[in-house]
Amino acid sequence: MTDHLRPEAGLFSRSSLSSYESEVARLLIPDASWRLLLVSLPSFAPEEAVYLRDKGLGPQVVATRMETKLWPILMGYTKGRTATQDGPAVEVARAPIAMPLLEQLSQLWVAALLRTRFPRRPDLHLDGTTYHLGAHCRPFGILTGHTWSPPLPSLMAGLVDIGAKLTRYARAPEEQRSSIADALLQESTDLHRRFEAEDAFGGV
The predicted structure's pLDDT at residue 21: 87
The predicted structure's pLDDT at residue 39: 97
Distance CA 25, CA 38 (A): 11
C-alpha closest to that of 5 among 138, 111, 139, 102:
111
pLDDT category, 202, cuts 50, 70, 90? low
Residue 25 has pLDDT above 50, yes or no: yes
* Length of the chain, in residues: 204
Per-residue b/e over 191-201, b at no fewer than 16 CB within 10 Å?
bbebbeeeeee
| pLDDT averaged over every residue in the chain | 88
The predicted structure's pLDDT at residue 83: 45
The mean pLDDT value for 72-81 works out to 63
Residue 114 has pLDDT above 60, yes or no: yes
pLDDT category, 19, cuts 50, 70, 90? confident
Residue that wins the pLDDT comparison between 108 and 118: 108
**pTM for this entry:** 0.89
